[in-house]
Copies of this chain bind each other. A is one copy, B any other.
Amino acid sequence: MTSKKRTLGLAVAQMGPVHLADDRLAAVRRMIELMRDAKSRGAEFVVFPELALTTFFPRYWMTEEQAQERFFEKTMPGPATQPLFDEARALGLGFYLGFAELTPQGRPFNTSIIVGPDGSILGKYRKIHLPGHSDHKPDAPFQHLEKKFFDVGDLGFRVFDTQGVRMGMCLCNDRRWPETYRVMALQSAEIVVLGYNTPSVNIHWNEPVHLRTTTHLLSLQASAYQNGIWVAAAAKCGAEDGFHMIGSSAIVAPTGEIVARSLTEEDEVIAVRADLSLGEFFREHVFNFAKHRRPEHYRLIVERTGAGEPIA
């Protein structure tokens, strides 16, 4: 962190569909191609999607045991993912990866990791804001069973230092909650990375389809601005066995502006040279937390879970 202008070559590796019939090795082969593409475009760090190795299986009704047997990783890296770690080390790239984790104690989490350019796992996150439901909804066009298949994350929102940058991470639905980013910004995060699988159709109400994309981008943009950080978000998108998910992977600057955005719903790399000093202006002035925040007036944020009556 000694050079005058600190930058990070930051890439998002969006992935098109991973179908039920696709095995992990096929996914990893695609990810290795994306990594090489990113490297050729100046990337030093690559963001992969949530649950990148398999289809978005929470859309299917099955038992927990069936899900764990087929879709969860018992070790990371494991036999199928070791080539990804090897390639990253060969290229000198750090990366973020989302996958379903089954712990040695048998606990299931929707997990992501930050891996350093030497191939070592520097940090782990387990998804806290699990969307969807746990009951079977036979009349819905598909399920969204994250509350059935995953436990709520138990590691909090932490930050990790990699490649001279302080980085936080989250997963999918977490990106819509301002608390997510604020907790990491209060630990001096400079970049937050995340992956997502977002169905194009809301099974709960007749939500206009365009909102699925606009609210995704709005959440990234506001959180980047309001915390003076870079945000990089990687979709798994397109139609997995007919079930369509949004694309619009994006990299957002601390100004709140989208500076890179995917155009396809297939495997696609977007990349920027992220100027880390840009966020400093925001964190020194309008969002100088030490000068302007007033936590004595924020207590309800931790004292209440749901919405309630007015305070006296």
- A residues contacting B by CB (< 8 A) are 128-131, 152-153, 156-160, 166, 173, 176-179, 182-183, 185-188, 202, 204-205, 207-208, 211, 214-215, 218-219, 221-223, 225-226, 255-257, 281, 283-295, 297-311
Contacts and interface: CB of A to CB of B under 8 A. Distances in A.
Contacts of A152: 294
18 contacts: A153-B297, A156-B297, A178-B178, A178-B222, A179-B297, A183-B300, A185-B307, A187-B300, A188-B310, A202-B285, A205-B281, A208-B255, A211-B256, A214-B256, A218-B221, A222-B223, A290-B306, A298-B302
Contacts of A307: 185-188, 283, 289-290
Nearest to A306: B290
Given A183-B300, A211-B255, A218-B225, A289 B305 contact: yes
Given A218-B221, A222-B219, A225-B218, A293 B311 contact: no
Nearest to A205: B281
A158 B310 CA distance: 7
Copies of chain A in the complex:
2
Contact of A304 (B156, B295, B311): B295
A218 B302 contact: no
A223 to B, nearest CB: 8
B187 A294 contact: no
A294 B207 contact: no
